[in-house]
Amino acid sequence: MARTVLEATTIIALHEDRAGSLWVATEDRRLFRARGERGEDVVEVTPAGESVPAKYSWLGDDERGVIVGSSMSGLSRIVDGRIVPIHPSGPRGHYIYAVHRGDDGALWLATNRGLLRARGGRYTVFTSADGMAADRVFGLLGD
């Protein structure tokens, strides 16, 4: 995979989408998509025009395409080269470590500022004030 492009930075998140492309988020706030048998076709897909580039912390996908978790926009999609929040009124400023879709369709987000539950555009935040052991949640596991 394009060492000249990615060798000088730290990779924060990796995700292989349903089409077989490898998505890469880097410490320097850039996004890449790699295609091909050995990932030889690498394209930068970092959205242009953001005044303060987001720090992309989580990558995933669903039936509608790639989902990006960022500190600025929460859960978003890349649409026409722009980051578009999935839930525009959702909380911002959370560093997303992991996401899990529950059997009921709710999304659970492990973040630096608590455990978030998103369903139907509504978010519920659970923190130490609600009985969590700590506000920072690093991972999730469904049962």
Q: Is the pTM of this model over 0.85?
A: no
The answer to whether the CB of 98 falls within 8 A of the CB of 138 is yes
d(Cα 33, Cα 44) in Å, to the nearest integer? 6
- In percent, the amount of the chain with pLDDT more than 90 equals 24
pLDDT at 78: 78
Helices (H) and strands (E) in the chain, counts: 1, 12
d(Cα 35, Cα 114) in Å, to the nearest integer? 35
How confident is the prediction for the chain on average, in pLDDT? Answer: 84
d(Cα 127, Cα 76) in Å, to the nearest integer? 23
Per-residue tokens: 39:
């990932």
Pick 50 or 14 by higher pLDDT.
14
